[in-house]
Amino acid sequence: MRTIIEQLERHRRFLVASHAHPDGDAIGSLLAMGLALKAMGKEVLMYNESPIPAVYRFLPRVHTIRQQIDPTARFDAAILLDCGDVERLGAAVAELDKIPLLINIDHHVTNSGFGHLQLVDEEACATAEIVHRLIEKLPVEIDDTMATAIYTGILTDTGSFRFSNTNQSAFAICAQMIARGANAYEVAQHVYGTYSLGRIKLLNLALDSLEISPNGRLSVMTLTRRMLRETRTQDEDVDGIINYARRIQCVKVAALILEQNVNGSAAKGRRHFHVSLRSDGSVDVSQLAAQHGGGGHASAAGFSVESPLSELKVELMKFAETIAEKCDPN
């Protein structure tokens, strides 16, 4: 922490970035970190490869996050937020080679330890919690914009203070952020209050795709590109749908298979999928994700594969047999 603060004070030009297909923590910690550095008078480029999901577009200053890095731009340091490994950044990962100092700030158990300096705490409920800890030690006043960003990061990464990562700091920091101008009702309305009709129709298709392993312990939902096309939805609309699969009685692990929007490169019969995994806390799904080249937390993880859909499902069902004894959900 002390070394990182020294480096932030010493340098002038920063690239601040978080993972592609960002969630509330990726956006919230990015904004808070970027704005804190700007408040210190630094030159900052806030970057995310993906467009900002509609539900986060209300965040003050979120429109200053860029989707491009000027290849001629020079940076003294890069800060990567909420990325378990450096590839999570996306295609811009090659740009990092030109930057002399890489700082890794994250809370995933599977964090690879990349970068020259690491501030990784798997006990933190969100990367926004660690960013808050850091900003508190900087010569910066947390204003309502930063407060709203940090609040949103913690609210969303703890599933509104319901997931197993919900700790004392989650409540303590969020209370402070409200004192500094974050509006809890307004954030909740934007993040959870409004669904497009397409998103509800997509939820309907997801529920309809539900399959349960013979022992009742694993639930699988499948969403194809066709379903997203038919409902005029995008990847960001899939966020949160997996929680319906996780809630089912007896289920210990829920999987959501989302076909990826990748052109042409898959071998015959194979397709690109991202698999999201959630557990009730009794099964460490980060291990299963890591075995497939992904990662995450013990109770929320993910990985990407190229495979026929049927084989992927068979593999998940095989994993289900190792989870626990039979249970009847009815």
User: Which residues form the interface with Mn ion (CB under 5 A)?
Assistant: 25, 82, 127, 157
- Taking CB under 6 A as the rule, does residue 183 contact ligand 5GP? no
Q: How far is CA 282 from CA 109, 169, 238, 251, in A?
A: 16, 23, 25, 11
Q: Rounded to whole angstroms, how far apart are CA atoms 249 and 164? A: 18
- Taking CB under 6 A as the rule, does residue 18 contact ligand 5GP? no
Q: What is the DSSP letter of 193?
A: I
Percent of the chain that is helix, strand, coil (3-state, to 5) = 40, 20, 40
Q: Rounded to whole angstroms, how far apart are CA atoms 169 and 131? A: 12
Q: Which does 301 bind (CB under 5 to 8 A by kind): ligand 5GP, Mn ion, none?
A: ligand 5GP
- Taking CB under 6 A as the rule, does residue 294 contact ligand 5GP? yes
- Taking CB under 6 A as the rule, does residue 302 contact ligand 5GP? yes
- The site map against ligand 5GP for 250-279 (x = CB under 6 A) is --------------------------x---
Closest CB 129 distance from ligand 5GP, rounded Å: 14
Look at residue 7 and give its three-state secondary structure: helix
Q: What pairs with residue 106 in β-bridges?
A: 120
- Applying CB under 6 A, which part among 80-88, 192-200, 216-224, 321-329 lies near ligand 5GP? 80-88
Backbone angles phi, psi at 223, to 5 degrees: -125, 125
- Taking CB under 6 A as the rule, does residue 300 contact ligand 5GP? yes
Two tokens at 287? Answer: 């291990």
- Taking CB under 6 A as the rule, does residue 246 contact ligand 5GP? no
Q: What is the DSSP letter of 191?
A: I
Chain centroid, CA 50 distance in Å: 12
Q: Which does 85 bind (CB under 5 to 8 A by kind): Mn ion, ligand 5GP, none?
A: ligand 5GP
- Taking CB under 6 A as the rule, does residue 84 contact ligand 5GP? yes
**Under the rule (CB under 6 A), what is the footprint of ligand 5GP?**
84-85, 88, 108, 110, 276, 294-297, 300-304
